[in-house]
Structure 1
Amino acid sequence: MLATTQRFIERLAFLTVLLGGLGLLISMFLGMGDVVGSLFDNPLPGALEVTESTMVLIVFGGLAYAQIRQRHLRVELAYLKAGPKMRSVMDIIASLSGVTFFCLMVWQGFNEALFSYTISEATSGLVRFPLYPARFALVLGASLLVVQLVFDLVRDIVNFGVDKDFELG
């Protein structure tokens, strides 16, 4: 059951990375079109608003996948000098801190997303772009990260003190 859930979370995290990549492509082309259009006194309306919303998907879409691949930043100097038990303690503290922080973010993000949806919040520009999809994308990305951090926390507790083959890069 746990392995099946882990695979599902990994697939969902990969999907959010793909959506973030698509958002990055859209932002890139809109930005390029806006710059070129500005050269001819005809900027793309709504380019800024769409780019702002896709940035949330780009950032929060990749958090869980980066955690799955263990690609988040850490202070390697201190981590590599520590023994296996101290590394386990560091990993557990990092996971607990991440779970706490991102649970709070999910909680408040969901409240904001729901409120944004309820009042039909939109950008104030030439093109009114709804803000609630980006807010729900934040909640989805942060929720996936919380689930992955819980999996990592359980793994770190079960494997406490076991020396991991740690590689840089």
Structure 2
Amino acid sequence: MAHIDRNDGTLGRLHRAWMPVEDLANLVAAFAIMGLMCLGVAQIVLRSVFNSPLPGYIDLVELSMASMAFLGAAYCQRLGSHIRMELLIGKLSGRGLWAAEIFGTLVALTIIGVLAWYGFEHFLRSYTLGDTTMDAEYPVWPSKLLVPIAFSIWFVRLSLQLWGSVRLFLDPSKAPVAVVTMKDVAEQAQDEIHEVMGDEADAPEATR
């Protein structure tokens, strides 16, 4: 969760402008999870009570996986909720820390960029061929389109994180903006409270 400082320049403004996009994508993923749970309940009821399973249930589950798996990735990246190997990073400070963050972010940018590119090609192929699911023959391309969209949102977040890391590498005395930083248990708990209460904009800087 990045530092909210109204004097943090262009990076801070871009960071704040991109947050609603990530929030919306994560909200869509949350609704997809809730919808899948409701779908599962309906499947159980229809099969148990009426002995009539929901048509295309397996196909709908498969189509929903992309939204649940990828749309929340950029949101998690911003909050630092993703899994990080901090055994080494936790021992670094100053320019050494931000050099390691720059390296890791560049690797992530490369991977996500490649996945977004080829994900879009898979979407185009599916859309052109009219690809459908095996059973109910639902169109597959909407699900495949979510993959490059999610990765593109994630790519922008990583780009902002890279910018913030380079900024701190050049001048470690500056306030962290749009970067992942480690926190102790008390700070992490406080951030989670802010997130649940919906007042992230007033929360202190940094992500774990």
Give your verdict on TM over 0.5.
yes
Given candidates 56, 73, 97, the residue that maps to 2:83 is: 73
- The equivalent position to 2:73 in structure 1, one of 63, 75, 80, is 63
Report the 3-state secondary structure (helix = DSSP H, G, I; strand = E; otherwise coil) of the residue aligned with 1:128: coil
Q: Does 1:140 align with 2:149?
A: yes
Alpha-carbon distance in 2 for matches of 1:139, 1:99: 14
Structure 2 gaps of 5+ residues are 1-9, 189-208
Is residue 87 of structure 2 the alignment partner of residue 115 of structure 1?
no
Given candidates 162, 166, 169, the residue that maps to 2:182 is: 166
Q: Post-superposition shift, 1:167?
A: 0.2
Percent of residue pairs identical? 25
CA offset digits 1:116-164 (Å, max 9, x no partner): 1111111010x22111111111111100101110111011011117276
Moved more, 33-42 or 101-110: 33-42
TM-score by length of 2: 0.74
Q: Indicate whether 1:100 and 2:114 are aligned.
A: no
2:62, 2:53 → 1: CA distance? 16
| TM-score (structure 1 length as normaliser) | 0.90
Measure how far apart 1:37 and its partner are.
Answer: 2.4
**What CA RMSD, in Å, does the superposition of the two structures yield over aligned residues?**
1.9
Q: CA deviation at 1:34?
A: 1.4
Aligned residues: 168
Deviations 1:60-86 (A, max 9, x none): 110111111122111122221223323
1:31 alignment partner in structure 2: 40
Say whether the 8 Å CA contact 2:123–2:141 is kept in structure 1. Answer: yes
Structure 1 unmatched ranges of 5 or more? none
Which residue in 1 is equivalent to 2:30?
21
More displaced stretch, 157-166 vs 50-59: 157-166
Report what 1:153 is aligned to.
162
Match of 1:49 among 55, 59, 66: 59
